[in-house]
């Protein structure tokens, strides 16, 4: 556990926001002697008690702090972030329990919420902690099947076979033989968490006055999320090479369709051709979504390309326009009139746009999206997946699906 976790928890600015009884309930678990930390001060003089907690965490030698306390502080810190708060609230809603009264939720910080759940709702805390592994980062590696509706078979036998494939993949990267797969159903999607060994860490430590070399291997987590409804597989939490190998294994073992994600067409996901055709006049259509107030394009990049040896395109010039007013595409064309996407020598390399949502209040939420053909899309997926993907579809930014035989024949 990093020392930063101690410092964040021990901050008096944070400790003053925590009820004294909650702090005492937490530290009572570890059998700390009154000589080390007098917890009775939290009842008789809360400010002095918080100062004592601060001093104990920051001034006590690390080897003298109970290991269980160190581990639990790390767990609370992991859920004491906005993404952890979302996981806790989702799990509480699923169970129909209340972590804090609604009136106090807006005044409860993320770390305070995690601490409260750890003490009073340990089952919610544990399940949220497990579910955190399944939360998608902004950018993931995606594969699309030639057709929709291919069912996933997550029976124990299939899952164990996938686990064996994953073990071989990660062993080839020198990540040890430890590997375990856990399946999870999330609505119409299925998710598989594959816990595996990380790269070996070797470090020098002090034991008393003696220096020792110690090695350890943390546990990493790779996640595969598959939607049969749209035939998309999303993978994150491991190297690019491992993601490609895991996609191949998933198609063969879980979907019973060897080679399903092997064709290059499975990675042709996003396109900006509709924007290139419209040029500076392009405007996002969002009338289908009453929750969107407006969309502004903040950055646009155009590449001038030429055909090199072997028939492959190579970039010979890149131009980027950034505009805080949200008209970057118009500025790109106005300042560089030589750009003509219809000529075939220019390509729109990427767009960054911001979706402003309709809500009451002075600061409406904004979703920032980056799209880069043909396989990169970045945005806060966990909360806005459906809204953004529908918007892209309505604006012709999703590549059309190629039938399996056509895609393989093209290869």
* Residue (of 94, 61, 84, 73) closest to 30 by Cα position: 73
pLDDT: is 207 or 16 the higher one? 16
411 has a pLDDT exceeding 70: no
Number of Cβ within a 10 Å radius of residue 188: 10
Lowest mean pLDDT among 31-35, 62-66, 173-177: 62-66
Q: Is the dihedral of CA 205, 211, 213, 214 positive or negative?
A: negative
Tens digits of per-residue pLDDT, 56-74?
988 888 778 888 888 888 8
* Residue (of 302, 303, 296) closest to 352 by Cα position: 296
Residue 405 pLDDT? 44
Mean pLDDT of 226-248: 92
Residue 396 pLDDT? 95
Q: Is the dihedral of CA 366, 230, 227, 91 positive or negative?
A: positive
Task: Provide the 3-class DSSP secondary structure of residue 207.
Answer: strand
Mean pLDDT of 207-222: 83
Mean pLDDT of 118-147: 83
Tens digits of per-residue pLDDT, 310-338?
778 889 999 999 998 888 999 998 988 88
> In the chain, what are the helix, strand and coil shares in percent, each to the nearest 5?
45, 25, 35
Give CA angle at 137 (180, 171), nearest 5°: 30
Average pLDDT, the chain: 87
Cross-strand pairs, 307: 313
Report the distance separating Cα 256 and Cα 47, nearest Å.
Answer: 62
Mean pLDDT of 356-373: 87
The 10 Å CB-count burial string (b at 16+, else e) for 334-368 is eeeeebebeeebbbbbbbbbebeeeeeeeeeeebe
Predicted TM-score (pTM) of the model is 0.69
Proportion of the chain above pLDDT 90, given as a percent: 47
pLDDT: is 83 or 18 the higher one? 18
Residue 257 pLDDT? 93
Residue 410 pLDDT? 41
Q: How distant, in Å, are the alpha carbons of 82, 135, 191, 240, 248 from that of 222?
A: 21, 11, 10, 11, 15
Quick one: angle between helices 82-95 and 122-132, nearest 10?
Answer: 120
Contact 75, 65 (CB under 8 A): no
Q: How distant, in Å, are the alpha carbons of 93, 124, 183 from that of 112?
A: 18, 15, 30
Residue 207 pLDDT? 74
1 has a pLDDT exceeding 50: no
Tens digits of per-residue pLDDT, 187-209?
778 999 999 988 888 888 777 77
């Amino acid at each position: 556990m990093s020392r930063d976790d101690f410092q964040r928890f021990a901050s008096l600015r944070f400790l003053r926001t925590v009820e004294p009884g909650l702090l005492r309930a937490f530290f009572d678990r570890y059998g700390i002697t009154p000589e080390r930390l007098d917890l009775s001060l939290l009842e008789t003089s809360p400010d002095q008690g918080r100062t004592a907690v601060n001093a104990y965490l920051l001034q006590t030698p690390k080897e003298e702090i109970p290991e269980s306390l160190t581990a639990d502080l790390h767990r609370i810190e992991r859920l004491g972030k906005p993404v952890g708060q979302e996981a806790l609230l989702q799990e509480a809603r699923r169970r129909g329990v209340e972590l804090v009264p609604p009136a106090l939720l807006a005044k409860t910080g993320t770390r305070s919420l995690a601490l409260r759940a750890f003490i009073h709702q340990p089952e919610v805390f544990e399940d949220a902690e497990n579910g955190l592994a399944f939360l998608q980062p902004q950018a993931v590696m995606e594969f699309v099947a030639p057709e929709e509706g291919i069912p996933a078979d997550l029976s124990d036998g299939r899952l164990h076979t996938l686990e064996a494939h994953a073990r071989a993949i990660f062993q080839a990267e020198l990540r040890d033989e430890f590997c375990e797969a856990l399946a999870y159903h999330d609505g119409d999607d299925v998710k598989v968490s594959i816990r595996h060994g990380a790269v070996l860490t070797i470090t020098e430590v002090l034991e008393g006055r003696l220096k020792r070399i110690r090695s350890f291997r943390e546990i990493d987590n790779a996640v595969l999320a598959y939607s049969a409804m749209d035939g998309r597989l999303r993978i994150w939490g491991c190297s690019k090479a491992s993601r490609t190998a895991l996609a191949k294994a998933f198609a063969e073992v879980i979907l019973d369709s060897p080679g399903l994600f092997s064709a290059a067409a499975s990675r042709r996901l996003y396109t900006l051709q509709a924007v290139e055709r419209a040029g500076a006049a392009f405007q996002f259509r969002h009338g289908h979504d009453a929750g969107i107030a407006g969309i502004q394009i903040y950055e646009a990049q155009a590449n001038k390309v030429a055909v090199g040896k072997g028939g492959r395109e190579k970039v010979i010039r890149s131009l980027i326009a950034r505009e805080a007013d949200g008209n970057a595409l118009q500025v790109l064309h106005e300042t560089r009139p030589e750009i003509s996407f219809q000529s075939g020598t220019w390509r729109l390399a990427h767009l960054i746009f911001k979706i402003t949502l309709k809500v009451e209040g002075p600061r409406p939420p904004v979703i920032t999206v980056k799209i880069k053909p043909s396989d990169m899309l970045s945005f806060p997926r966990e909360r806005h997946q459906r809204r953004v993907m529908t918007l892209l579809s309505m604006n012709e930014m999703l590549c059309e699906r190629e039938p399996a035989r056509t895609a393989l024949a093209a290869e």
